[in-house]
Structure 1
Amino acid sequence: MAMGPSKPERAADPYRVMLVDDSAVIRGLFARTLESDPEIEIVASVSDGQMAVSTLEKNLGKIEVIVLDIEMPRMDGLTALPKLIEADRDIAVVMASTLTERNADISLRALALGAKDYIPKPSSTRELSGADAFKRELTAKVKAFGNNRRTRRGERLPGKRLFSAERRAAPAASAAPIAARTAAPAAAGGAIALRPAGRELPQVIAVGSSTGGPQALFKFLGDLPKTLRLPILLTQHMPPTFTTILAEHIKRSTGWECVEATDGMPVVPGRVHLARGDHHMRVTGTPASAVIKLDQGPPENFCRPAVDPMLRSIVEVWGGRALAVILTGMGHDGQKGCSGLVEAGGTVVAQDEATSVVWGMPGAVARAGLCTAVLPLGDIAAWVQKQTMRRAA
């Protein structure tokens, strides 16, 4: 296996990717998908984890993103992952696996070992050839992680290839808990304005997350006191099966009762209700007798489940007596929902750029001026607890 030659139609400095999968057909389909974007170049393509480690060690600095299969001969993806990170601590690894319960569990374990993200791949080449959503997601993740790596290493030139909702700003300064103030200037568009907290105490907490979300959720919920007797509604962009496993991981790692939501399930204080994969999660009823409703309406922001429909329904039930937490994630899902929440008198906090895997979703609400605070991940739980204990205005 040799490093692939540079292609004349590529951008001047494309993101450099290695594909690792035991199926040459799958690698070929991945390569055609990614290289249809001129800002991506496949520089290596190998069939197992052992070859991936050897190739990376011989080409340090020449590979930026790795798309890594889980099940392979000689050395599987989970075994190879820590060796790849040991060889290059800045390497961005995206796990690719089919939608099985076992692979979902392995993918979440891989995130704990340092993988940046996962992507569920279609189960057959026929499915893959027509999976437009998968192709779009794979391309977006590779570009986002390639850009993140260059930003961390100081290799990205100002203004270079900042695309769509992943336009990045400088880390926002920590915010005062109640009073509005102005955060540090943002590289992509001036200062971030912060706003006062809602006048009424929150009676429900809504959490939205995507890329990098599982690890952020483990930290945030692990830090959040179990004495906080409020219902928590959580939408994480994830496919079916993965959300089932994520609920189990949250319960095991944080101590919170966490359930994958079902249609008609009552909303219970002290419980985390996780949106089921491929279903929007909404709530109906009154604050004292709220009930979850699941539906398969059209994707919003290319996502199902999506954060926006959850937030809209929360406003319908609780009005402004709600607090939204927007964690790391690609895109801008949650921005419109947070806008409606703030208009109703609610409060929004977002994770800062420095601790986000991708500052898309939190960056969108921060730049829109919807946040009372933009904080490092490790500070959010304590801030949320204070908001639930302060005196109502």
Structure 2
Amino acid sequence: MATKIRILLVDDSAVIRRLLTDVLSGDPTLEVADTAANGRIALTKLATVKPDLVILDVEMPEMDGLETLTEIRKRQPRLPVIMFSSLTERGAAVTLEALALGANDYVAKPSNSGNMSTALQRVRDELIPRIKTFCRDVLAPIPAPAAERPPAFKAWPTPASTPVSAPRSTPVPLAPRLRQRVDVITIGLSTGGPNALAALLPQLSAQLPVPIVIVQHMPPIFTRLLAERLATQSALSVAEGTAGEILRPGQIRIAPGGSHMIVERQGAQVRLQLNQDEPENSCRPAVDVLFRSVAEVYRGNALAVIMTGMGQDGLRGCEAIQQTGGSILAQDEASSVVWGMPGAVVKAGLADGQIALPQLAREILARVRVGR
């Protein structure tokens, strides 16, 4: 019989601890083994509770989430940690810092306004799949296939890639394709994405002759702060996309949280547009929405890059890009925090190759140079 996933829940709010315990205990595979009101108490319980995963509040008295995370990483570098943060400017900023320090992922707290039942359902839908993804080995008496198991946290740089000509982790043969001129790069990613972007974008030249459009699954505020953070690290212009903005070479535009982002051709120009259409794959922004529009506008001159993330958002969009003659690169399993999104594309036989994160910028730049 499978063992339950043991969770240490750390939050200074007794109400949140009670609500989360009720939410998590409703799943028969999960057990809130203990709780703590701040980081200092949590650290004293690590050795005795022996949790499989920690849910960690961002803002707490005595020892906050960042201090606690730093100490957890010293003691147990492989222990999965999910940050539980508020949808505020400070909450978003601290969460991004926590991801950079080694948190595996985050989930936003329910707001005080609106329907609490709906808010708790959202937390349940977002939190429980993440817990099971990061603790899959706890539930499985027989190890799952390597392609389905996310690696424990590891700092960049990651292991070197296998070459594009020798893809790994897939039995699907990848047929060679003629390379065409690239006029746009479109990137989709989710869990592990902020750190992956921080590793990738600074390696791209300031003279990049094409624009980059990105969907990173994140709520409002988070995407703006992510763009601002990346702008300080990259030689390229990085910002949230805005409606009606003309896409220009050397620009990186990230879809704002809460809005789908698409590209539209207007005469000789390509502009960004935003909309509030229904979520796809439970996401808004969704990778599929952006990729489909890129396929329609750029046809065979699009390069799609599908990177670390849970689920399979981006699969249908990659199908559209392949059907119109574009190219697709997938981040490899070894360097992905979760190989769900790129794995789905690889298993469908859509990727031209699997590239480790440290080699991805070089491969992108090589493809951009074709036809120039």
TM-score (norm 2): 0.91
Alignment partners' CA distance in 2, 1:349 and 1:116: 24
Instruction: Sort the Cα spacing of 1:29 and 1:197 in 2 relative to 1 into closer, same or farther, 3 A.
Output: farther
Structure 2 residue aligned with 1:6: none
Alignment partners' CA distance in 1, 2:187 and 2:359: 15
**Equivalent position to 1:146, from 130, 135, 157:** 135
Alignment partners' CA distance in 1, 2:212 and 2:254: 9
Residue 329 of structure 1 aligns with an amino acid whose one-letter code is G
Query: How far apart are 1:347 and its partner, in Å?
Result: 0.6
SS in 2 for 1:285: strand
Structure 1 residue aligned with 2:154: none
Structure 1 residue aligned with 2:337: 357
* Contact 1:220–1:378 (CA under 8 A) maintained in structure 2: yes
2:304 is the alignment partner of 1:324:
yes
Structure 1 residue aligned with 2:206: 226
* Contact 2:161–2:359 (CA under 8 A) maintained in structure 1: no
2:269 is the alignment partner of 1:289:
yes
Instruction: Sort the Cα spacing of 1:258 and 1:146 in 2 relative to 1 into closer, same or farther, 3 A.
Output: same
* Contact 1:328–1:360 (CA under 8 A) maintained in structure 2: yes
Query: How far apart are 1:173 and its partner, in Å?
Result: 7.5
SS in 1 for 2:328: strand
2:62 is the alignment partner of 1:74:
yes
2:255 is the alignment partner of 1:266:
no
* Contact 2:161–2:357 (CA under 8 A) maintained in structure 1: no
* Contact 2:164–2:355 (CA under 8 A) maintained in structure 1: no
Within 5 Å, give how 1:59-138 maps onto structure 2. 59=49, 62-124=50-112, 127-131=115-119, 132-138=121-127
Structure 2 residue aligned with 1:8: none
Q: Which runs of 5+ in 2 are unaligned?
A: 152-158
Residue 111 of structure 2 aligns with an amino acid whose one-letter code is S
SS in 2 for 1:130: helix
Alignment partners' CA distance in 2, 1:351 and 1:185: 11
Q: Which runs of 5+ in 1 are unaligned?
A: 1-10
Question: Which one is further off, 197-206 or 44-53?
Answer: 197-206
Query: How far apart are 1:316 and its partner, in Å?
Result: 1.3
Q: Percent same amino acid among aligned pairs?
A: 41
Alignment partners' CA distance in 2, 1:371 and 1:287: 31
Alignment partners' CA distance in 1, 2:343 and 2:332: 8
Residue 205 of structure 1 aligns with an amino acid whose one-letter code is I
**Equivalent position to 2:47, from 40, 43, 57:** 57
2:316 is the alignment partner of 1:336:
yes
**CA-to-partner distance for each residue in 1:329-350, whole Å, 9 max, x for gaps?**
0000000000110111111111
Instruction: Sort the Cα spacing of 1:156 and 1:101 in 2 relative to 1 into closer, same or farther, 3 A.
Output: farther
Alignment partners' CA distance in 2, 1:145 and 1:198: 38
**CA-to-partner distance for each residue in 1:106-125, whole Å, 9 max, x for gaps?**
11011111111111111229
Alignment partners' CA distance in 1, 2:322 and 2:309: 20
Alignment partners' CA distance in 2, 1:19 and 1:127: 23
Question: Which one is further off, 36-45 or 338-347?
Answer: 36-45
* Contact 2:69–2:103 (CA under 8 A) maintained in structure 1: yes
After superposing on structure 2, the runs of 4+ consecutive aligned residues of structure 1 that deviate more than 4 Å are 125-128, 168-173
Alignment partners' CA distance in 2, 1:385 and 1:108: 27
2:143 is the alignment partner of 1:158:
yes
Alignment partners' CA distance in 1, 2:343 and 2:10: 32
Alignment partners' CA distance in 2, 1:287 and 1:361: 34
Alignment partners' CA distance in 2, 1:50 and 1:127: 33
TM-score (norm 1): 0.87
Within 5 Å, give how 1:26-65 maps onto structure 2. 26-59=16-49, 62-65=50-53
Alignment partners' CA distance in 2, 1:29 and 1:133: 13
Query: How far apart are 1:390 and its partner, in Å?
Result: 2.8
Query: How far apart are 1:287 and its partner, in Å?
Result: 8.3
Query: How far apart are 1:126 and its partner, in Å?
Result: 6.6
Structure 2 residue aligned with 1:239: 219
Instruction: Sort the Cα spacing of 1:185 and 1:360 in 2 relative to 1 into closer, same or farther, 3 A.
Output: closer
**Equivalent position to 2:289, from 304, 309, 316:** 309
Alignment partners' CA distance in 2, 1:104 and 1:58: 31
Question: Which one is further off, 243-252 or 116-125?
Answer: 116-125
Alignment partners' CA distance in 2, 1:261 and 1:231: 12
